[in-house]
Structure 1
Amino acid sequence: MLREVLPRIVRIAVFIALGVYAANLAVEFGLIEHVAGVAGYLTRPANLPDEVGTAILTTAASTTAGYATLAEYRESGLLDDRATIVAVMINTFFGFLQHVFTYYAPVLIPILGLRTGVLYVSIRAGISLAITVCGVLIGGLVLSARNVDRSALAAIDGVSEGSDGTGNDGGGGDDGGGDGDVDAGTDADRTTRDRAVAAAESSYGTLARIVPRLAIVYTLVIALVNNVDVEALTGVAEPLTSALGLPGASVAIVAVYSLDTTAGAVAIAPLIGETFTPRTAVATMLLGGIVSFAVSTFKRSIPFQFGIWGPEFGTKVIAVNTAMKLVFISIAVGGLLLAP
């Protein structure tokens, strides 16, 4: 079990370290201001601060880093729970965008063929975009200044409570950075090395909080997976495929796909054009995604979300993500099968 757990923990820890450090470097060098300006088109209609948009855009490069940054904003008090949930919803499309370049385009489309592959990826993109748009709309309706404490940005950026409020006191503030007595006008004089060291110090707290928790949860989940017959969970597929009028072979495809996306794509690819049309093939794979929620939540979502947020709030994030995906995947499946 240790051989299975350690590589996952190390890989995720590396992604967290690189992503959070890159985000902190952006803060130290002032790049955050430029990125936040672009992200503001998403966050302002949702009544979220521009800085949250930076974390959301970071998700396109690293899902773990984007979530870790949002977790830092929540734990610092910048966002309350409601605002964080909205930010997580807006995050959805950018998390998907990363996988287009790392998995869907180089792996899945070549397996399924151009027509079926592009149709599947386009629908998955539409589902993710719909959730993001819903997040923006919900934020505009339910969020206000009560859900955001902008004074918490001082703690995030390492500004002491005794600063003049400009954010340029160059200090490590309350976190013991050691520069709290530096004048506000000396920030421009800090060397590249100073900024790199400050970014590393800011990153350490996030890593120290998340990685140990992640290691514990992953170990527990893998231990349970090794002793539970998760394949039995896919037995629900048969009544679903029958009710939707999908080919009988779809039951086996859903079972395989729900446990491993690539294996499911490999299994259905030779049947496209004979047993399946591109639309019924995509509907079957989407149905596999619905059935797989029990499996994927147990094997991936719980370890990841609990590791990032902790069990209580992580459960809320999983519930919202799952509910939104179920709704829009169901709509997409219905649209595929009912369209003329």
Structure 2
Amino acid sequence: MQSSTVLPVLVEVLPRVLRIAVYIAIGVFAANLVVAFGLVERIAGLSRYLTSPANLPDEVGTAIVTTAASTTAGYGMLAEFRESGVLDDKATLVAVTINTFFGFVQHIFTFYWPVLIPILGREVGFMYVGARAAIALAITLTGVAAGAILLSKQNVTPTAIAETDGAGDTDGEYGANGDDEDSVRAMAEDAARKTWKTVRRIVPRLAVVYVLVTLLLRTTDLESFTNLASPLTNLVGLPGAAVPVVVAFAFDTTTGAATIAPAIGETFTPKQAVATMLIGGIISFAVSTFKRSIPFQYGIWGPEFGSKVIAVNTSLKVVFIAIAVALLVA
């Protein structure tokens, strides 16, 4: 392959990988610290209402809380818990599912409130954001129910981190109470060493997958996925004008919102507008899976488990979006 093709891809991918690597490092380092300093009880208090019924240990609550601020950092925590043996694969999939609503929350303040609602107007904007919030919450509650049914003590080992390399040992080499200066420094250094091991394992894989996927996108016409737009909009009885909106929405949410906004009240009712944008979300999964999900999830978990995470996430989103669309056009 010519260097003239690869070099621009490297320039595009490198900043993205570095940014994700920083967030992963923060998440993994925080996960190690909260366990080492015994902060799990304080941080995971509220999230215990979700983790306890799902048969997940309190440590997972720290990842849930963190996900509301940074999805990447939250996933980094879960990756650390899985790597250390706190969660097995089944428990990790449940935890990832429960994280869904908290990953959505951060977008309310960074995108939906300042960008999307002003474009769509108050009524349709709040309806759309409310629909997306309800979908995310339904997925999270599905994760809780799945944990209650599928998980047992065999799927989790809450003491696994503490049993590995002395982390969380407040009665051993770090001192009786773990609160003197030497103890704090020792635990922070231990957390940093573990973080470096995790980042060193994840980031090279992340970089390779991002480069390969970006090269694939440069040579593949993903617009063929939008051929699904017309059958879907016809199936639910939306106006013909919904097709170009779905196509635009599938590739760029802001553009899609700006495309449909002038037609609300004329071509589209508020419910039809929201249903159209949700269908755009279904189509966009096919595109975003190549652009974002595969590189990110494969980088975090590796291809085998990353594929399982993508399959679970995508399936649940499609199912609950379809239910929301059916309710809107009923």
TM over 0.5: yes
The total of aligned residue pairs comes to 321
> Is the partner of 1:38 in helix, strand or coil?
coil
How far apart in 2 are the matches of 1:8 and 1:307? 12
Q: In structure 2, the residue corresponding to 1:150 is in which secondary structure?
A: coil
Deviations 1:131-187 (A, max 9, x none): 11111111111111111123412245x427xxxxx83145xxxxxxxxxxx264162
Correspondence for 1:127 among 135, 153, 161: 135
Could you say which residue in structure 2 is the equivalent of 1:175?
Answer: none
Output one character per residue of 1:261-312: Cα deviation in whole Å (capped at 9) or x when no partner: 1111111111112111211111001001111111111111111111111000
1:37-76 residue pairs with structure 2 within 5 A? 37-76=45-84
Distance in 2 (alpha carbons) for counterparts of 1:186 and 1:333: 55
| Higher RCO (CA 8 Å, separation ≥ 6 residues) | 2
**Where does residue 205 of structure 1 map in the other structure?**
197
| Equivalent residues of 1:306, 1:314 under 8 A apart | yes
Establish whether residue 297 from structure 1 lines up as the match of residue 284 from structure 2.
Answer: no
Paired residues for 1:78-89 under 5 Å = 78-89=86-97
**2:236 aligns to what?**
244
Identical residues among aligned pairs (%): 62
Q: Which amino acid aligns with 2:103?
A: G
How is 1:1-340 mapped onto 2 (pairs within 5 angstroms)? Answer: 1-155=9-163, 158-159=165-166, 167-169=169-171, 182=173, 184-185=175-176, 187-191=178-182, 193-338=185-330
Q: Where do 5+ consecutive residues of structure 1 fail to align?
A: 161-165, 171-181
Tell me if the contact between 2:37 and 2:178 (Cα under 8 Å) persists in the aligned partners. Answer: no
Q: Distance in 1 between matches of 2:296 and 2:74?
A: 13
In structure 1, the residue corresponding to 2:82 is in which secondary structure? helix
TM-score, structure 1 as length reference: 0.89
Aligned-residue offset at 1:200 = 2.4
Query: Is contact 1:159-1:169 (8 Å) kept?
Result: no
One-letter amino acid of the counterpart of residue 166, structure 2: V
User: After superposition, what is the alpha-carbon deviation per residue over 1:102-158, rounded to whole angstroms, capped at 9, x for unaligned?
Assistant: 1111111111111111110111000000011111111111111111123412245x4
Whole-angstrom distance in 2 between the partners of 1:108 and 1:24: 37
- 2:234 and 2:177 map into 1 onto residues whose CA distance is 70
Tell me the amino acid that sits aligned with residue 88 of structure 1. V
In structure 1, C-alpha distance between the alignment counterparts of 2:194 and 2:41, rounded to whole Å = 18
Question: Deviation digits for residues 199-244 of structure 1, max 9, x if unmatched?
Answer: 3223212211111111011000000000001112101111111121
AA paired with 1:190? E
